[in-house]
Amino acid sequence: MEEIWKVIPSCLGYYEASSLGNVRRSGKPLPSGRTHKLRVLKPGYDTGGYRNVVLSINRLIRTVKIARLVCEAFHGPAPLGMVVAHGNGVRSDDRAENLRWATRQENEEDKQRHGTVPTGLRNGAYTKPERRPRGTAHGMSVVSVPLVPAVRRLCATGMRKVHVARLLGVSRDTVERITNNKHWSSKIT
């Protein structure tokens, strides 16, 4: 398949996108009179698995998803309220024939159809909370279980938290969090 290059309208003619999902600088002269060589930009990946590139236009640097740039170059500017949808559900497949403008609802339906939408009770940032080390099992823990009741007893007697911290060799913030039950549950007395 032949690679076809088109100017990306939102990039003021400084960048071009290809039908195979690549982005390069165009030969358009900069305001300073310099011109850049035609070179394909190296893509990176965001946390969602989408490819992106870093663009510099008039000294403004921004990171943009390649799918959006290719779709804009081959299917026109984004209509209001539309997002880029991948036809085959592969996030890194940024070929022009695979991309189209769609509403958020249509894009979500596509994700359901492709099976790429995360679903279920265990979806989210904390998918395996039982595997997260807590308390003294955590590698960064500075407080042991016997120390917690001692901190609470000393603070209950009216001793200042900064003095309790110095006495027990922990930070004042740690003492604060223990007494406010932020880090250690109130079950430990």
Are residues 159 and 89 part of one domain?
Answer: no
Are residues 110 and 145 part of one domain?
Answer: no
Range of the domain at 176: 141-189
Beta strands 44-45 and 51-57, pairing class: antiparallel
Query: Do 49 and 92 contact (CB within 8 A), yes or no?
Result: yes
Residue 157 lies in a domain: yes
What type of residue is 74?
A: F
CATH of the domain at 18: 3.90.75.20
pLDDT tens, position by position, 34-45: 777 788 999 999
Our count of domains for the chain comes to: 2
Are residues 156 and 77 part of one domain?
Answer: no
Residue 123 lies in a domain: no
Residue 48 lies in a domain: yes
Residue 164 lies in a domain: yes
Q: Residue 122 — pLDDT band, cuts 50, 70, 90?
A: low
Are residues 148 and 102 part of one domain?
Answer: no
Query: Do 52 and 45 contact (CB within 8 A), yes or no?
Result: yes
What's the predicted TM-score (pTM) here?
0.62
The angle, 0 to 180 degrees and rounded to 10, between the axes of the packed helices 172-179 and 161-168 is 110
pLDDT tens, position by position, 28-69: 777 777 777 788 999 999 888 899 999 988 788 999 999 999
